[in-house]
């Protein structure tokens, strides 16, 4: 009888722990999703102000090349370098975005695959 009671108590505790950890994971996932949305929104805002005239509102390219799949060609660090420093002997100027703006846009473009 004591074994059954002890087993029942342990089972209840275990189910309680599993149930609680699921809520935390869900909250963490929601926080990550919200952060990702904020970064994407910021990146698009910065992009639209300084980059869309050449690369298009939908990354389709106009004067500059399309950026729809740029993340499969360059990683975030390479994109940041291009954004900050430009590309010699091309129409890609450097310095249009700096600091956080450049970092956020580079991160977002790296996800375009």
CATH domain 37-113 topology: Cytochrome Bc1 Complex; Chain D, domain 2 (1.10.760)
For the chain, the average pLDDT equals 85
Using DSSP's 3-state secondary structure scheme, residue 26 falls into: helix
- Please state which of the ranges 36-40, 48-52, 53-57, 88-92 shows the lowest mean pLDDT: 36-40
Report pLDDT digits (tens) over 65-112.
Answer: 999 999 999 999 999 999 999 999 999 999 999 999 999 999 999 999
Separation of CA 6 from chain center: 47
The domain segmentation of the chain, as residue ranges, is: 37-113
pLDDT score of 26: 80
The residue ranking higher by pLDDT, 33 or 41, is 41
| C-alpha neighbours within 13 Å on the C-beta side of residue 5 | 2
Burial of 83 (0-12, 13-18, 19+ CB in 10 A): buried
């Amino acid at each position: 009888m004591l074994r059954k009671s002890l087993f029942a108590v342990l089972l209840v505790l275990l189910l309680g722990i599993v149930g609680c950890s699921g809520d935390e994971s869900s909250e963490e996932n929601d926080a990550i999703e919200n952060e990702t949305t904020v970064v994407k929104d910021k990146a698009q805002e910065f992009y639209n102000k300084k980059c869309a005239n050449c690369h298009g509102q939908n990354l389709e390219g106009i004067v500059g090349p399309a950026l729809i799949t740029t993340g499969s060609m360059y990683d975030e660090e390479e994109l940041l370098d291009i954004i900050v420093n430009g590309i010699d002997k091309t129409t890609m100027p450097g310095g249009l975005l700096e600091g956080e703006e450049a970092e956020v846009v580079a991160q977002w473009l790296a996800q375009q695959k």
